[in-house]
Structure 1
Amino acid sequence: MTSTAISAQGSKFSVGAVPEGGGGPTYTQVKNVKSFSGFDGTATELDATDLDSTAKEKLLGLMDEGSFSIDINTNMADPGQAALKAAQRSSAKLPFKLETPDGYSYTFNGYVKSFPLQGGVDAILATTVQMTITGSVTETPPAGA
C-alpha cells in the first residue's frame, strides 16, 4: 500500500468552557459526531495598484478563518451537545477543539450560529451545527513531530 491517507475515524470534537477565576479552558467532547468540515476562510485581497502599475497589484490582508460545522446524531442528554445549544441561545463565544487520529489538534474560538433539528420517517434525529470562527485557528502537531 502506497497511500499515506489518514482515516478520520477516531477524530474528536469538543466544546470548551473557561473557568471563573481564569486558567485554560476545560473541554467536553461532543458525542455522536458523524462528520466535520471547516477552516474554510480566506484572506482579504487588497488592491495595491497605482498609476505606475502595468497590471493589477495585490496584497493579502487579514485572514478570515471562516466557519466550522459538525454533523451529529442529536441527543440533548449529551453534555457536549447541550453546551453547543446553550451557546447558540446565549450568543456566547466559546473555545472549540478538534483532535485528529494522527495526533494533531486544532483550537479556535467561535460562536454557534445554528443548531437546526432534522428528522423524518425511519430516520435518526440529526443536526448540522454551524459555527463561525473568530480570531486565529491554532494547529498543534503531535508530540515529537
Structure 2
Amino acid sequence: MASTAVSAQGSKFYIDTAADGAAQPTWTKTKNVKSYSGFDGSASEIDVTDLDSTAKEKRLGLIDNGSFSIDVNVDMTDPGQIALKAAQKASSLESFKLEYPDGTADTFDAFVKSFPIAGGTDAVITSTISLTISGPVTTIAAGA
C-alpha cells in the first residue's frame, strides 16, 4: 500500500503585517524557512477528587497551545524576518499562519520569544526563532 504521508516541502510560514485594527490580515511570507515544529502544548489537569471518590478523579482544564519554532537561514533583508525581529523587540502579540502544501493552514497568535543567530566557518547564518502561543490554534480548510 502506498504511503499517505504528507510532504512538508512547499509549506509556507507567514506573519501578519497589517496595521493595527485592519479588517483583513496582510500575510507576509517568511523566506528561507528550513523546518518548523510546535503546537506542543497540553491541557492542565484539574483534581476533582472528593471524600466520596474511590480513586483520583480528574478533568482537563484549558489547553495551553505551547510554543512554535522555525529554523531559518537568516536574511537581513527579508520582510518576514524583519517583521519577526520587530515583533520580538516590541514584545507584541502577532498573528501567524502556517500553510501546508495541501492548502490547509493553521493560524495562531504568538509572541516572538527569541531570535538568536548562529554562524561559523563554511556555514551560513541560521536562527531557530521561538514563538510562545497565546490563545487558540485555528485550522483553515483548503481554499477558505
Task: Sort the TM-score into its range (normalised by shorter chain).
Answer: over 0.9
For structure 1, the residue ranges without an aligned partner over 5 or more in a row are none
1:85 Cα shift? 0.4
TM-score (norm 2): 0.96
Count residues in correspondence.
144
1:121 aligns to 2:121 (yes or no): yes
Aligned equivalents of 1:87, 1:57: Cα separation in 2? 42
Cα distance, 1:102 vs. partner?
1.4
Q: 1:55 matched to which residue of 2?
A: 55
Aligned to 1:82: 82
Deviation at 1:75, TM superposition (A): 0.6
Q: Which runs of 5 or more structure 2 residues have no equivalent in the other structure?
A: none
Alignment-derived partner of residue 95 in structure 1: 95
Percent identity (aligned): 59
Question: Following the alignment from structure 1 to structure 2, what is the Cα–Cα distance between the partners of residues 50 and 20?
Answer: 48
TM-score (norm 1): 0.95
**Counterparts of 1:20 and 1:131 in 2: how far apart (Å)?**
20
Tell me how large the CA RMSD over aligned residues is: 1.3
For 2:138, the equivalent position in structure 1 comes to 138
Displacement of 1:24 in angstroms is 1.9
Output the CA distance in 1 between the equivalents of 2:121 and 2:101.
34
- The alignment partner of 1:138 has SS state of strand
| Correspondence 1:104 to 2:100 | no
Alpha-carbon shift at residue 103 of structure 1 (Å): 1.6
1:46 matched residue in structure 2: 46
Task: Please list every run of at least 4 consecutive aligned residues from structure 1 whose deviation after the TM superposition is greater than 6 angstroms.
Answer: none
CA deviation after TM superposition for structure 1 residue 141, in Å: 1.9
Any idea what the Cα deviations from partners look like across 1:53-96, whole Å, max 9, x if unmatched? 11110000001010000000001100000000010011011100
